[in-house]
Structure 1
Amino acid sequence: MSCHATADSVREEKQGNMALQIIDRDLVRKLLPMETCIRLMETAMLQTASGTTCQPPRWIIDLPAGEGKCFGLMPGAMADPEIFGAKLTAVYPQNGARGFQSHQGTIVLFEAEIGAPVAVVHGGEVTAIRTAAASGLATRLLANAEAGDLAILGCGEQAREHLVAMSCVRELHRVRLWGRDVERAHAFALANASRSPVPIEVCTSVEQAVRDADLICTVSAAAEPILESVHVADGAHLNVVGSSVAQAAEIGAELVRRARFFVDYRPSALLQAGEFLAAKAAGLVDDSHILAEVGEVLGGSHPGRQSDEEVTIYKSLGISSEDLVCAHYLLQAAQAGNLGSRIDF
């Protein structure tokens, strides 16, 4: 079912009014398993790389409350499926320690025939799943085929989702976890034991966690680097996820310089990828250091990893096409299963 069909069917029900589908957090979790979301990320990344989307870089304002809190708008439009919309999101980095999602917001999806809104989707839950799914796709494309020694730096929501995503794309034989709060890290390991194919080892230092690891996911709220090049083994692949503004960086500039550097969307990375911008400001790299978007590797226009020994980095910022394809899929799935709630609008 397309969004066009949705608009037609709704007009037949009540002329002049549109039905707005409400897809809450629990329904997102039910309908969007990680394997499915990784496939949706293929669509988002391929269309992004092909130039058939309209995705201005995120608009962000810092909130007066400080502590890294900000509010962002991510509008976008896609050609296939023919949809457009926007995510409104508030980012509160300290929420994880309080038991809340760090990203709070909604995705509003519009159909293309008459321009009507057709769905409001829980943005925080979609963001949690699709961010890790994008890392899963990047890992599938860029990590060594035998990679399976995973280090996760951070113990919040994205740590959980990345554990699931990495398990989908590689056979894990070791999982190590580091977090600033050791008690919280142990609690994470206990709560997520069923999501890991092997016991989760809690480490007391970043160096211990990443030693000889060939998969590293940085999913912390760090504003300053927690991981340096000297600690990363040759051949490793990194998903650098936790920092999402130009002023923050989870990894050191020398590690950026050393690695082959890939992104979700080049225009956004040039403006907001804090690790890349810090390395550029230090004179270690220039704009050409961003080798390709993940969609270019997926589509075959860039080779990606070229040797077992090189270090690869996927810098994640998140793009609106990822949210839109998820919202569209969720709308179709909810309608097919007669799930969620609908209101005249």
Structure 2
Amino acid sequence: MLLLNREDITRCVELPKLVRALEDAHRGFARSAPVVPQRSIITHERQKAFSLFMPAYLPGNQTLGVKVSSFHPGNVMHGLSTVNGAVLLIDVETGRLLAMLDSGLLTALRTSAMSALATDKLCPQRRIRLAVVGAGVQAEAHIKAMAAIREVGQVKIFSRRPAHSAALAERLSIELMLPIEATHSMQEALFDADVVCTTTSHESPQPLIKAHQLNPRAHINAIGGSTVHACEIDPRLLGNAQVYVDHLRAACRESGEITQALAWSVIDVKDIREIGDLVIDQPSPVMHKDGLSYFRSVGHASQDMVVAACIYYMARAEQIGKQCDYLST
């Protein structure tokens, strides 16, 4: 079994390859649908946290695995990651474990790569002004992912923890050699942004972002909000936007913005399209859109397995990670 920790995954990952792997996978899902049982959720009331258990099998490339992921928002106060867990890849032929990968970083990579795929299809600008709401692991991953698929003219970061925003802006501006700044207000970050990525742990049905704060032609990647009641974006905005999700059934069950927009009849289920439609449409008609576009990611085990398999084969090719035969002795 190959063990891949955060450092190993960081060393072998190439973001453009992950984006293309997800695009190819979603195109293939139309021919050979993944087998994904509904994920199991265990809540931890005292910690205000939850754990997810997500198996998936991809017949197209014979990938089998399970992801275990726990979300503990209170970890921020202790300097710990809010998302922890592991992905196990299993050999379909023998049932033996092929690899165990850190799921915290894998989740950030999968989510940001899906946002990059949606942005690539829905945002016509080749040079973008980017706004990121939040300053955690997902915020960093999204800045890197957007820079991997677009020329980035400027990045503005806003979060409720100004010191975190400033530190992230300073570090990434050096690492990526981009003009990145922390802003003092949400409005300052959003008003001229071509692409907006919301990466918060927001838990309230009261939205963080209202219509008047946005560039009327912006593309929004909404990936934060930790409960079905949470709304990062005002659900009423969806009535004037092209609405895409990573998985329709899961989004209608787990996204606060989608469920509220449906409940208020702002949109109908038929107005929501899946990301797979974007990669199958050639050329995609949304490339000539006029107005808002919105992509809501709630995560799906099929995407986790695509990314896990991609990382596994990259790591094997580069001889990265640690082999462990402990379980077979």
TM-score normalized with structure 2 length = 0.92
Aligned 8 A contact 2:99 2:312 in 1: yes
Aligned 8 A contact 1:149 1:215 in 2: yes
Which stretch of the first structure deviates more once superposed, 255-264 or 94-103?
94-103
Residue 39 of structure 1 and its aligned partner are, at CA, apart by 1.9
Separation (CA, whole Å) in 2 of partners of 1:150 and 1:262: 19
- 1:1-345 correspondence runs (5 A): 20-67=1-48, 69-96=49-76, 98-224=78-204, 225-290=207-272, 292-300=273-281, 303=284, 305=286, 307-344=288-325, 345=328
Which stretch of the first structure deviates more once superposed, 177-186 or 193-202?
193-202
Aligned 8 A contact 1:258 1:311 in 2: yes
Structure 1: state its 5+ residue gaps.
Answer: 1-19
* RMSD (CA atoms): 2.0
Separation (CA, whole Å) in 2 of partners of 1:333 and 1:174: 31
Residue 293 of structure 1 and its aligned partner are, at CA, apart by 1.4
Separation (CA, whole Å) in 2 of partners of 1:269 and 1:334: 32
Change (3 A) 1:118 1:269: same
Q: Which amino acid aligns with 1:84?
A: L
Structure 2: state its 5+ residue gaps.
Answer: none
Task: Provide the identity percentage.
Answer: 27
Which stretch of the first structure deviates more once superposed, 149-158 or 39-48?
39-48
Residue 243 of structure 1 and its aligned partner are, at CA, apart by 2.0
Aligned 8 A contact 1:47 1:295 in 2: no
Separation (CA, whole Å) in 1 of partners of 2:202 and 2:271: 23
Q: Which amino acid aligns with 2:213?
A: H
Separation (CA, whole Å) in 2 of partners of 1:305 and 1:328: 30
Residue deviations 1:195-239 (CA, integer Å, cap 9, x gap): 444322222221121002111000111123211122112211000
Q: Which amino acid aligns with 1:135?
A: S
Aligned 8 A contact 2:203 2:231 in 1: yes
Aligned 8 A contact 2:112 2:138 in 1: yes
Q: Which amino acid aligns with 2:4?
A: I
Separation (CA, whole Å) in 2 of partners of 1:170 and 1:341: 34
Aligned 8 A contact 2:202 2:226 in 1: no
Aligned 8 A contact 2:153 2:179 in 1: no
Q: Which amino acid aligns with 1:274?
A: G
Q: Which amino acid aligns with 2:36?
A: Q
Change (3 A) 1:336 1:147: closer
Q: How many residues align?
A: 324
SS state of the match for residue 286, structure 2? coil
Aligned 8 A contact 2:38 2:54 in 1: yes
Residue deviations 1:68-122 (CA, integer Å, cap 9, x gap): x110011111023201111000011243454332210000111111222221111
Aligned 8 A contact 1:96 1:156 in 2: no
